[in-house]
Structure 1
Amino acid sequence: MRFLIAGGTGFIGSRLTDYFQKQGHEIFILTRNPQKHPYKERVSYIEWLDPHSQPETELENIDVCINLAGTSLNSGRWTDQRKQQILESRMITTREFIRIMNALTEKPNVFINASAIGYYGTSKETTFTEETMVSGHDFLAEVCSVWEQEAREAEDIGVRTVFTRFGIILDQNEGALPQMVMPYKLMIGGPLGDGQQWMSWIHIDDVIQAIDHIINHDELSGPVNLTAPTPQRNQDFGKTLSEVLGKPHWLPAPSIALRTILGEMSILVLKGQYVYPEKLEATDYQFKYPTLKEALENIYSKN
């Protein structure tokens, strides 16, 4: 198959590229600077988001389109300017991706657009599934809602469209986990705030294999939660992490201190949601790491 990926050199995108490349597929990566990327067999870099670029002229017979592009939520304190950048980067890239697909003579089989479980808002009591129709009201929920609405335009050109609502992705070197681990390595690990906020997590290997699963299951469309089936409260997550690392779990980080340091961005660590992967379960996806202990033991057995 032939894959077109935006954000193909990022955290998830680079793993996807390697995964599909090893399977013998051909990968096209949309990038602003195609010349700076090293040669890889069966991987081509196509310029986009330049006034003079026309990526569609270099693309035909694309089977799968995956959009992972957008400014990182962890790219800096959420000033008004940063929040605008986070939102606009997602709108611009998604709109351009749909324009490219519309320009192709043969439309792809599926368009997978990134989203996040932040769509649901936060709660300590509610269980959220893909059947949850109403989004939350905080900044993250609003971003995810309008992002998905923009991506839904792909349905109008006859392309099966999926919104992958990512949970907290666990990886040894990238994503949120290295920041979570640092206090434990310094022997000062403990709960964040009251420790009762839910953490809906997923191992990076399950992210990649779940996306492959989505591609091969035509019945999947709309939102799909990419989270493991066993969310944990922050307190319990930390205890499991300390057990796997062999480090103490004892020193709480007060909510007021985190809000002072992080500002509005503190929602990423002090708030959460219990999200269940109902659609993956209904289509018989088999999680490689269904429990947190299994996931963390795999990650830290690599040391």
Structure 2
Amino acid sequence: MKIVIAGGSGFIGRTLTDFLVHEGHKVVILSRSVKKGTENIRYVQWLHPGAKPEKEIGSADAFVNLAGVSINAGRWSSEHQQQIYDSRMNATDELLRIISTLSTKPSVLVNGSAIGIYPASEDTIYTESATAIADDFLAKTVADWERKAGMVSFPETRAVFMRFGVVLGKGDGALPPMVLPYKLFAGGKVGSGRQWISWMHIQDVVRAIVFAIENVHLQGPVNTTSPYPKRMNEFGKTIGAVLHRPHWLPVPSFAMKLALGQKSALVLQGQHVLPRKLLDSGFEFTFPTLESALKNILIDDV
């Protein structure tokens, strides 16, 4: 296949590109700057004055939209929140424009999303059939992002919203800062410890994206998480067990709020999310359990 990726330089985008190329596909990465490609990876400039990426793309089997300012970078000041929101809306608008100009439409637009759309809860279990939406900045961003991507109004183009949980991988994403205290023998419960972490190994994340591209019956929200989420305290204990480090030094909620401001909600609150659509469609997880994922990332890949 020929697959266009917006946001190809990010954590998920880089891993997805490597996976697709390894599987023999052609990848077009939309980039703000002109870069030299390879036989199977081509860079096309976009979101730049005068850029006409549709002329270089020609046609494609699928578009994957992962573009947007990272929610993990910096404190959530009003300015940063606006950048997070606007970057997603603007990039999606441009993708919709590009697709509208193509004589042959892609079969699918796979759009990034997040489980942050669901309200934080220690008791509720969320599948894709849940209609509740949280009343906060992240949920509004996700809901508007999905609504925007869903405006791809061509009968031959499905829209799939991959609602990513906490993506675990080596050297990037959420895991390294979570592991660091344990490496320093200072790991322990964060906040109440009862908040849920719905997580997924980066390799399963990119496999799920390709699965969504290839399976024509998948559309709308797709929870992209492991079938076995963990409460924060158990998550930390599992890190400690894998690394043979103690789980003993608690980090109180007020300290996280002081350090991270509004962004502390990403750590102190959580959602119990299950990937019902993936499971019902026959997707097989390579790393379904947290222990298997952490051993692969922290031990096997050293």
Q: Which bracket does the TM-score occupy, shorter chain normalised?
A: over 0.9
In the other structure, the counterpart of 1:26 is 26
**Structure 1 counterpart of 2:115, from 106, 117, 133:** 117
- 1:206 match: secondary structure: helix
In the other structure, the counterpart of 2:296 is 298
In the other structure, the counterpart of 2:106 is 108
In the other structure, the counterpart of 1:49 is 47
In the other structure, the counterpart of 1:197 is 195
- 2:223 match: secondary structure: strand
User: Contact conserved, 1:126 with 1:274, CA < 8 A, in 2?
Assistant: yes
* TM-score calculated relative to the size of structure 1: 0.97
Aligned length: 301
User: Contact conserved, 2:125 with 2:273, CA < 8 A, in 1?
Assistant: yes
**Structure 1 counterpart of 2:216, from 203, 218, 234:** 218
Give per-residue Cα distances to partners, 1:176-196, cap 9 Å, x unaligned.
000000110111100110100
Give per-residue Cα distances to partners, 1:124-177, cap 9 Å, x unaligned.
110011001221111111110001011001135641000000000111211000
In the other structure, the counterpart of 1:139 is 137
TM-superposed CA distance for 1:92, in Å, is 0.3
User: Is the aligned partner of 1:13 residue 2:13?
Assistant: yes
User: Is the aligned partner of 1:257 residue 2:250?
Assistant: no
Give per-residue Cα distances to partners, 1:210-266, cap 9 Å, x unaligned.
111111110000000000000000000000110000111000100011101111000
Correspondence list, 1:241-280, <5 A: 241-280=239-278
User: Contact conserved, 2:119 with 2:132, CA < 8 A, in 1?
Assistant: no
In the other structure, the counterpart of 1:3 is 3
- Counterpart CA distance in 1 for 2:291 and 2:18 is 26
TM-superposed CA distance for 1:205, in Å, is 0.8
- Counterpart CA distance in 2 for 1:105 and 1:258 is 51
User: Contact conserved, 2:204 with 2:287, CA < 8 A, in 1?
Assistant: yes
TM-superposed CA distance for 1:41, in Å, is 2.1
- Counterpart CA distance in 1 for 2:126 and 2:103 is 39
**Structure 2 counterpart of 1:171, from 163, 169, 190:** 169
- The one-letter code matched in structure 2 to 1:282 is D
User: Contact conserved, 1:155 with 1:161, CA < 8 A, in 2?
Assistant: no
* TM-score calculated relative to the size of structure 2: 0.98
Q: Equivalent pairs: percent with the same residue? A: 47
- Counterpart CA distance in 2 for 1:207 and 1:107 is 25
Deviates more, 1:2-11 or 1:223-232: 2-11
Q: CA RMSD in A?
A: 1.0
- Counterpart CA distance in 2 for 1:47 and 1:255 is 43
User: Contact conserved, 2:106 with 2:156, CA < 8 A, in 1?
Assistant: no
